[in-house]
Amino acid sequence: MINPKLLNQFLVEPGSEVNLKEYVTDWTETDNAKELGKDAIKERAKEILEQSREEMNKAQELLYASDTHSVLIVLQAMDAAGKDGTIRHVMSGVNPQGCQVFSFKKPSAEELDHNFLWRYMKSLPERGRIGIFNRSYYEDVLVVKVHPEWLGPGAPAKPDKHFWEKRYEDINNFEKHLSRNGTLVLKFFLHLSKDEQKRRFLERLTNPDKHWKFSEADLAEREHWKSYRKAFEDAISATSTKRAPWHIIPADRKYVARALVADIITTSIQGLGLEYPKVSEAQLAKLAAARAKLEGSDKDVETES
Ligand code: AMP
Ligand code: MG
């Protein structure tokens, strides 16, 4: 697993003011990484992902057996940062019955008629499960902060800074409520550079197998890059808490992002210190009696036939 000291650099200290320029998008370009070399990092990242998958499967089984906690993973990013691929690779070793993925698109008219957290509450993971939000209630302080006209009926035409501060407060209270009630909340911002986004969009336009992924709307949103960056900085600064911290994950190299996310999820679940339910002396006696009865009944069947 990855050294916790290394992981710490991706964790947003509660109360800190985030400047995304201070966070790398390509981890292989950092001094530490350069010493190792890209090939060695790629190999190591694959090993970590593989190991994390196995450990995560065991951790989820324990999560289900102990029946005291659930895990909510929130994934946010600019377009083409690799949210879908990260979910596919990181969760592929987990029992499908143990995890649920919800992807949130533009809200429906019905959803806009409710408070902004309503549609997410309905999709929260039950005890024992890992729930993944591919986009989340953070869209309600990100995309709509860049486009307030999409806030829907009932919202102010020109929301002021207090409007957004109240939403951050609602989110912090919501996550506090979840955490107090046994949900481990882990939030990841896949941090992509503008150049790498351009490369990935061009790949979608060039490679016929990837044409389906291209949307003209993505190009329109790219024009608002600076506003999105500011919205992310404000939201992450206001909502990275001890109970529900943000991780800023360098996402220009998919293998780096996947290994980091997998490792953080696995070690965080392991950190809950869960245990399999203890079997009492009385229950053990009942199990022994049931075993004796079952073994005896097999002998009966053999003598009967
Ligand atoms: P995709 O994830 O590429 O399928 O795109 C989903 C789209 O839905 C993105 O453009 C999001 O910004 C948009 N979206 C998700 N949640 C909201 C929201 N609460 N309000 C407005 N747009 C949203
Ligand atoms: Mg898209």
Ligand 1 atom with the smallest distance to the CA of 151 is 20
Give yes or no for residue 305 having a pLDDT over 60. Answer: no
Nearest CA to ligand 1 atom 5: 105
DSSP tag of 126 = P
CA of 103 relative to ligand 1 center, distance in Å: 9
Mean of the per-residue pLDDT values of the chain: 95
24 pLDDT higher than 70: yes
What is the arithmetic mean of pLDDT over 25-53?
92
Q: Which residue among 139, 219, 223 has the greatest number of ligand 1 atoms within 8 angstroms of its CB, and so is best to mutate?
A: 139
Compute the distance from residue 193 Cα to the ligand 2 centre, in Å.
Answer: 16
First to last CA, the chain: 56
> What element of type H or E holds 184?
strand 183-191
114: how many CB neighbours lie within 10 A of its CB?
A: 12
* Residue 304: pLDDT over 60: no
Which ligand minimizes its atom distance to the CA of 204? 2
Q: How far does residue 215's CA lie from ligand 2's centre (Å)?
A: 7
Contact call for residues 281 and 68 (beta carbons, < 8 A):
no
Rounded to an integer, what is the distance from CA 226 to the centroid of its chain? 24
248 pLDDT higher than 90: yes
Q: Does the pLDDT value for residue 204 go beyond 90?
A: yes
Average pLDDT value for residue range 282-298 = 93
* pLDDT over 70 at 223, yes or no: yes
Q: Could you tell me the pTM of the whole model?
A: 0.94
- For residues 204-218, b (16+ Cβ closer than 10 Å) or e, as one string? beeeeeeeebbeeeb
| Structural Rg of the chain based on CA atoms | 23
pLDDT 10s digits, 69-113: 999 999 999 999 999 999 999 999 999 999 999 999 999 999 999
Residue with tokens 């500011």: 230
For ligand 2, an ion, list residues with CB under 5 A: 79
Q: Which residue has the tokens 């009942």?
A: 286
Q: How far apart are CA 113 and CA 90, in angstroms?
A: 35
**From atom 8 of ligand 1, which residue's Cα is the shortest distance away?**
105
Q: Which of 120, 134, 143, 145 to mutate to test the pocket of ligand 1 (most atoms within 8 A of CB)?
A: 143
pLDDT at 159: 97
Atom from ligand 1 closest to the CA of residue 105: 8
- Centre of ligand 2 from the C-alpha of residue 26, in Å: 22
- Side by side, the strands of the sheet bearing 246-250 are 99-103, 130-134, 70-77, 183-191, 246-250
Give dist(CA 128, CA 264) in Å, integer: 18
Segment 48-63, tens digit of pLDDT: 999 999 999 999 999 9
Task: Spell out where 20-170 has E strands.
Answer: 70-77, 99-103, 130-134
- Report how far ligand 2's centroid is from the alpha carbon of 175 (Å): 26
pLDDT tens-digit series, residues 123-140: 999 999 999 999 999 999
Query: Torsion over CA of 54, 4, 230 and 73, rounded to 10 degrees?
Result: 30
Cα distances from 168 to residues 48, 81, 269, in angstroms, run 34, 24, 26
